Amino acid sequence: MSLYRGRFAPTPSGPLHLGSLVAALASFLDARHARGHWGLRIEDVDPPRCPPGAADTIRRQLDAFGLHWDGPVIRQSDHHDAYAAALERLATRGLAYPCSCSRKQWRDHAVYPGWCRDGVVEPHKPQAWRLRSDLGLRPVAWEDRQLGHQAFDPATLGDVVLKRKDGLWAYQLAVVVDDADQGINQVVRGADLLDNTPWQRQLQHALGLAEPRYLHLPLVLGDDGQKLSKQNRAPALPDTEPAARPLLHQALTLLDQAPPAELAQAPVEEQLARAIACWTPGRLRAAPGRRLTGATD
The footprint of ligand GLU (CB under 6 A) covers: 9-11, 43, 175, 189, 193
In three-state secondary structure terms, 150 is: strand
Asked if residue 17 lies in contact with residue 230, where contact means CB atoms within 8 angstroms, the answer is: yes
**Residue (193 or 295) nearer to ligand GLU, CB:** 193
Smallest separation, CB 28 to ligand GLU (Å): 13
Smallest separation, CB 48 to ligand GLU (Å): 15
Residue type, 14: G
Half-sphere exposure of 46 (CA within 13 A, CB side): 17
Smallest separation, CB 243 to ligand GLU (Å): 23
Smallest separation, CB 58 to ligand GLU (Å): 10
| CB-based contacts of 185, cutoff 8 Å, min separation 6 | 2, 4, 5, 6, 210, 212, 213
**Residue (55 or 155) nearer to ligand GLU, CB:** 55
- Cα gap 55→52, rounded to integer Å: 8
- Cα gap 248→266, rounded to integer Å: 10
- Cα gap 297→172, rounded to integer Å: 37
**Residue (189 or 245) nearer to ligand GLU, CB:** 189
**Residue (7 or 245) nearer to ligand GLU, CB:** 7
Asked if residue 221 lies in contact with residue 228, where contact means CB atoms within 8 angstroms, the answer is: yes
**Residue (9 or 254) nearer to ligand GLU, CB:** 9
Smallest separation, CB 131 to ligand GLU (Å): 17
